[in-house]
Amino acid sequence: MSATAAVNTVKPSALRRLSTALAGKLPLGKPAPAPPPVASEKEDEGKGEDGAGALATFLEEAKERYLCDVRATPSRGGEWTVVMGNEAGDLDSLASAIAYAYLLSHPPSHPPTSPRQAIPLIQTAPADLHLRAENLHALRLAGVPSPATTLLSSFDPLLHGLSPFPSRDFALVDHNRLGAAFTAGNPGARVLAVLDHHADEGLHADAQPRVVAPAGSCASHVANAFPNGADADADAPMPRALATLLLGAILIDTGGLRAGGKALAADHAAAAFLLPLSTLAPAVSASTLARARHPNTSTPDPDTPNPNSDTPNPNPNTPNPDTDTPNTPDTRGLAAVPAVARLAAELERTKADVGHLGAWDLLRRDYKEYACLVPVDTNGALPVNTTANGTVAVKAGLATVPVRLEAFAFAGKEGKEGRSEGGKEGEGEGDLEREAARWMAARGLGVLGVLTSFRAPSKTKFGLGGKMKLKVGKGKKKATEKKDGKEGKGKHKREMAWFVRRAGLGGAPLDAVAARLWAGLEGSAELRVRPHKIGKTMKIGLKIGAGGAVEVVDVEREGDGMRVRVYKQGNAGATRKATAPLLVGILEGTAASKEPGGGRVNA
């Protein structure tokens, strides 16, 4: 599908402006830079098709009508198509679900397509939306300031207590397996569409479209599903607020489209399509917009040099074989466009600022769960291979946390209690060991992995109050890095803390499962883990095992024996997409799942 798009010629209406006042409402590391002039106050209040209010109105009306139908007669939910992202609920899932539901509800007129009653569904409780400040920020920019009341959640009281789920038709974005909660007692459940960038589990083969392909962001696949170029519907263009929401998701997932990042051809094509439609367009030069509209040319922008090329191109109107891919939009220069870079930095800064969250909230913030079938023999032991007499179902979870373990693993650090926003006294308090045990009990988990990802200066020294001081140059200038999620530039690092809980193993032996997990992780050429010394400062109940591994021995947590190990991850490039299939493969003993990207999981 072509990624070109005509720039809207209508008067640019507003998405909620990039307001610096937001810095006072969200815990940003520092105030956001001055935003581009995307709209006036009057336009910002508009309810037209291209106004910021158009998206909020669509969401509010869809939610009201859906709940009204289900409340009146649950079977009327079958008249709707539910569009949902994965359970982690990041901006990619959120934006993709909203955008694809909008597309189903507002189909192109060429070719003629009947609109569907479609509703985006988020798998996040309204009370937990604060855990992802970047989502709230992006939604505010899109004119959706109250997502807790505007968006339909699977935790809505009407839906949460309803079994079976009232709808039968689903569209999946950012994952490709329909969850058990939506199929239980719902034999007519079917998946009509799949757009995803995770490992393909091979399910829902009849979905149309079914796009499960590599991309830095699923939002790119969704954006590329909209009509564009010659197929674009001039009478019903994509709302500017929606274009900016999708563009924001792409930017945050691809590191702002920077070279050497995660952006692939699909992401560049989507960015080229979205930028002229977004509220950033008025702040972008005409030559840059022309390059986005006509991706097969490389018209240079005098204000925006290409930062990704060290090879001069003597003829800018022809592809440079060292930097350009034939038939790939020349959007790489968009990363340096000030308005684009500003939005990317603003979202990334908001995402990284999690200093107000304690261990309990950090475990829940970016979490995914996997159902594993662990083979056991007739004696309840783990066999060497999968020729066992039976299996036990074990739930495993992976929580991705954007700060180092030392920053949140200990209760009372820097006076922080880690209490959940709006939570009861004592909720969310405590160190990582305690909160991990509590989270595992609440979710019925047998295995939990806490995967940290952060940037750290190459030379650091811990000072009082939990701060890290870096001396730079002859002047010994101090660069302070608070261990609260506001970690700046530096070397990218990853750590892992793993917990195995007896009560969640379905009768499988605790020590055997733990030993299998440790061996699999330590033998992974992809992860390259090594023991972490952080365990030496952890609280009573832990001891240092062989090689420095941290183990909990005969420690009871709510009646459950626990085993714990903590690692440093040598390959910082291996994300949850690599760890999840490896984890499932280790527990199930299936070699196919051990390869990164293999197995039947959506990481």
Query: What pLDDT, on a 0 to 100 scale, did the predictor assign at position 287?
Result: 83
The string of pLDDT tens digits covering residues 301-310 is 444 444 333 3
Residue 115 token pair: 């609109």
Domains 20-308+316-347 and 355-458+484-594 share a fold: no
Number of H helices, E strands in the chain: 17, 18
Paired tokens of 304: 């925006």
Q: Is the pLDDT of residue 219 over 60?
A: yes
Distances (CA, A) of 98 to 35, 102, 160, 503, 591: 24, 6, 20, 38, 37
Q: How many CB atoms lie within 10 A of CB 474?
A: 6
Three-state DSSP string of 416-478: CCCCCCCCCCCCCCCCHHHHHHHHHHHHCCCEEEEEEEEEECCCCEECHHHEEEEEECCCCEE
CATH class of the domain comprising 20-308+316-347: alpha beta
pTM of the shown model: 0.75
Which H or E run includes 172? strand 169-173
Which pLDDT score, from 0 to 100, does residue 128 have? 94
Q: What share of the chain is helix, strand, coil (3-state, %, to 5)?
A: 35, 20, 45
248-271 pLDDT, tens per residue? 999 999 999 988 888 999 999 999
Per-residue pLDDT band for 332 (boundaries 50, 70, 90) equals low
**Residue 139 tokens, joined:** 């939604």
Q: How far is CA 274 from CA 6, 86, 137, 247, 442, in A?
A: 10, 23, 19, 6, 41
Round the average pLDDT of the chain to a whole number and report it.
Answer: 76
CA distance 74 to 64: 14
Q: Indicate if the pLDDT at residue 458 is higher than 60.
A: no
Omega before 164 cis (within 30°)?
Answer: yes
Which of 27-41, 46-60, 222-236 is the most confident on average?
Answer: 222-236
Give me the percent of the chain exceeding a pLDDT of 70.
Answer: 66
Sketch the domain layout of the chain as residue ranges: 20-308+316-347, 355-458+484-594
> For a pLDDT cut of 90, what percent of the chain falls above it?
52
**pLDDT, position 231:** 60
pLDDT at 390: 84
Beta bridge mates, 462: 468
Identify which has the larger pLDDT, 464 or 220: 220
Q: What is the pLDDT of residues 498-526, one digit of tens each?
A: 999 999 999 899 999 999 999 999 999 99
Confidence of residue 280 (pLDDT cuts 50, 70, 90): very high
Tell me the C-alpha distance between 379 and 578, whole Å. Answer: 33
Domain 355-458+484-594: top CATH class: alpha beta
Report residue 233's pLDDT band, with 50, 70 and 90 as the boundaries.
low
